[in-house]
């Protein structure tokens, strides 16, 4: 099986009041200067940062699910609003085919329910 193409990952500073809302799951969007040509499928590594304290060491990885470009709906030209979702990097082939413990009936034991 060919190796998947890595997603573009953008490291971005995120002010504490916004970072905590993303981390808690309340804020599902990012408004940014579109100087990096953000695309659906890109990853954003949001790192908590403040001018007073610098980087806190806390970060969250999210995926860009939608990009609304500026110049419309009151968004300044050159900016964009991105819909973001928690990034889940699971290798389902590894999960499905790697050997692990088996139940007495011979089927693999999994750790999540459907």
Delimit the domains of the chain by residue range.
Answer: 9-97
Cβ 67 vs Cβ 82: under 8 Å: yes
What pLDDT score does 113 carry?
Answer: 45
**Is residue 90 classed exposed, middle or buried when 0-12, 13-18 and 19+ CB atoms within 10 A define those classes?**
exposed
Do residues 81 and 65 make contact, with C-beta atoms less than 8 angstroms apart? no
- Taking CA atoms, 82 is separated from 21, 30, 46, 62, 107, in Å, by 15, 5, 13, 11, 42
pLDDT mean for each 10 residues of the chain (114 residues): 81 97 95 97 96 96 96 97 83 52 54 46
- pTM attached to this predicted model: 0.73
Give the count of beta carbons closer than 10 Å to the beta carbon of residue 85: 12
Topology at the third CATH level for domain 9-97: 2.30.130
The confidence score (pLDDT) of residue 3 equals 74
In this prediction, residue 11 carries a pLDDT of: 97
CA 53 to CA 51: how far, in whole Å?
A: 6
Give CA angle at 88 (37, 36), nearest 5°: 10
């Amino acid at each position: 099986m060919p190796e998947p193409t890595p997603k573009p990952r953008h490291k971005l500073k995120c002010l504490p009041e916004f970072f905590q809302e993303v981390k808690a799951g309340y804020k599902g969007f990012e408004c940014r200067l579109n100087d990096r040509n953000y695309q659906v499928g890109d990853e954003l590594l949001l790192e908590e940062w403040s001018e007073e304290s610098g980087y806190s060491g806390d970060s969250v990885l999210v995926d860009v699910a939608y990009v609304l470009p500026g110049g419309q709906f009151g968004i300044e030209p050159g900016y964009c609003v991105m819909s973001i979702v928690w990034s889940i990097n699971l290798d389902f082939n590894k999960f499905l085919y790697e050997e692990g413990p088996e139940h007495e009936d011979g089927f693999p034991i999994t750790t999540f329910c459907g």
